[in-house]
Amino acid sequence: MRNLKFLPISYQDMQECGWKELDFLLITGDAYVDHPSFGIAIISRLLEKSGYKVGIISQPDWKRIESFRILGKPRLACLVSGGNLDSMVNHYTAAKKRRVKDAYSPGGKTGRRPDHATVVYANKVREALPGVPIIIGGIEASLRRFAHYDFWGDKVKRSILLDSQADILVYGMGEKPILELAERLAKGLGLEAIRDIRGTMVPLKSNEIGNSLPDNVIMLPDFQEVLIDKRSYAEAFWHQYNQQDPFHGKPMYQGHAREGVMQNPPPFPLTQAEMDSIYSLPYVGSYHPVYEEEGGVPAIEEIEFSIVSSRGCYGACSFCALTFHQGRIIQSRSQESIIREAERLTWSPRFKGYIHDVGGPTANFRRPACEGQLKRGACPNRQCLFPGPCDQLDVDHEEYLTLLRKLRSLPKLKKVFIRSGIRYDAVLADKKNDFLKEICEHHVSGQLKVAPEHISESVLKRMGKPGKKVYEQFVERFYQTNEELGKKQFIVPYLMSSHPGSTLREAIELAEYVRDMGVNPEQVQDFIPTPGTLSTCMYYTGLDPRTMEKVYVPRSMHEKAMQRALIQYRNPKNYDLVEEALRIAHREDLIGFGPKSLIKPKKYKEQKKLAKQRNESGNKVATGRSKQVKNQKTIQTKVSVEKKIENKRRTGQKKRGAKV
């Protein structure tokens, strides 16, 4: 078994390594977890492999400047990330209420990082370590790199690159650009000479624009324009969305008054050998032991014995930020690399025989959508699966099935699950038709989670998801397959409420579908407008940027609560919201006693409540009487015992007197 060590998190750790100075200091909003599901772990190990001295400061106290100085001043740069999630998504629900748990913090405790963590950390580093180049990255920086709508502040914010005062922003997964940046900094190049690295964005002053912009740059509507004109915002976003392909993406510039930001094209996809190399780095695979006393880091529970097999997703759902972050071109590891990792997992004393997942953003995407993607990139202004599978789509699950079979044959391994989700429309598009049977037989544990999200065609159109009939066809095949296998397994549908395009009418349509399915869905996600998604652009502008059509948007928290309640109409706590929604939509026909009704009339509900209260009251009275009777019996028994004792005493006295 490999003897693995964490990277330094204290000056004492640095001394044990024999280091007086770091080359790179990495600051993260998450607890330090050395697992390849954490971006900071990948970047730090990649730099270490390239010969750089790297240290980690996780969740520094942003109110104390000293907490940013505990590892000293790095020689080359400070890298800053808000964590595995956007800090605002991490902190707040769709109703803008504070979350009670943080899976990426010790013990699941909240409050370990600030709102807009990347901005706060970078500004603190500028104050604590003056003169050190600051490079920001991670999901928060990646999705907020242009002027963007912030749902929690309900306003359009500037590029995070400018608000953080950072020198360079790395977007996407970041391995290639960070290594090129490190190499140039190590050679002594100044920041002004590092302007053209793929996968980066740089700030420009107004007097630099003429000399620094490439000839083929796309000039986006500037910040002031998108701030006051929602159509300009939608146009700017659509340009950004369509330039995220490394093969045909062009540089983009967006002005912000006297300064601006320029994005270089995305980096080219990683080769399989590069992916294998990244995931073979010496990760410890768990959280740092300093968190043990606080109960560890909850996020490790699902990922410690899960394997990342691929990146990217050509599904391109409107509400998903993957297109903006990982891209549409699938990049996958070799089977040999994955099997080696699985074997290492079985060595762990904590391993119980189960691998929780082998997948990525979409488990059954292990290869690009077509051969053309590797030569020309993903098609601009077109999608691979929506509104239906492209004629050129090459769906073949045989390679993935072969991988799963090899994993199943490993000793010490009882079961391999698939929990990262599958695209059911891609399963149906596979002509061989044996994928579903094999996963039902070997890789489903009673329930298979899939994400139809909605069933209204008008809403699905905005979501970029397949129609209701496609989902129903998959459900029918799933249950038919399980019947043939003699198994009783179920589908758990993920559903989404309040997505742009969904009025109360569509929400009720979904509720009726839930009623007819006979399920009580627990997996309901109220749409959260996160930066970097098509759906968020629709939410803010009321326009679909693909067509510039107007889109209805449920904005008020009350309407969002009604739409969510309709999906979970069986929950008694949702009764008032469901009734209100049905009356507003003039669907009183769904309030009654018939088989198609969603809820019973309020009068009946109140009568039932009163009857329940009477029963409870009667039970209390009966219980009280029962206690009284019991107490009386206890008293009687006690008196009876005392009398017996007294009689015995008197009898004893008489006998003693007779003897005398």
Assign 90 to helix, strand or coil: helix
Strand partners, 263: 201, 252
pLDDT tens, position by position, 523-542: 789 999 999 999 999 999 99
Task: Give the pairing of strands 148-150 and 155-157.
Answer: antiparallel
Q: Which of 8, 25, 9 is nearest to 17 (CA)?
A: 8
Q: What are 408's two structure tokens?
A: 């199943």
- Max Cα separation, the chain? 133
- How far is the CA of 74 from the CAs of 23, 25, 523, in angstroms? 5, 6, 45
For the segment 620-632, what is each residue's pLDDT rounded down to a tens digit? Answer: 555 566 556 455 6
Distance from chain centroid for Cα 476? 29
The pLDDT of residue 1 is 42
> Whole-angstrom Cα distance, residue 492 to residue 473?
15
pLDDT band at 449 (very low <50, low <70, confident <90, very high): confident
Contact 581, 566 (CB under 8 A): yes
Say which range, 219-228, 379-388, 474-483, has the weakest mean pLDDT. Answer: 379-388
Q: How confident is the model at residue 658 (pLDDT cuts 50, 70, 90)?
A: very low
3-state SS assignment for residue 546: coil
Q: What tokens were used for 103?
A: 């899976």
Torsion from C-alpha of 9, 10, 15, 20, nearest 10 degrees: 90
pLDDT value for 2: 53
Going by C-alpha positions, the residue among 110, 124, 127 that lies closest to residue 30 is 110
Q: Which domains does the chain have, with CATH numbers?
A: 11-205 (3.40.50.2300), 305-445 (3.30.750.210), 447-600 (3.30.750.200)
Predicted local confidence at residue 382, as pLDDT: 83
Asked if 355 and 415 count as a contact pair (C-beta separation under 8 A), the reply is: yes
Place of tokens 């410890």: 284
* Structural element, H or E, at residue 119: helix 117-128
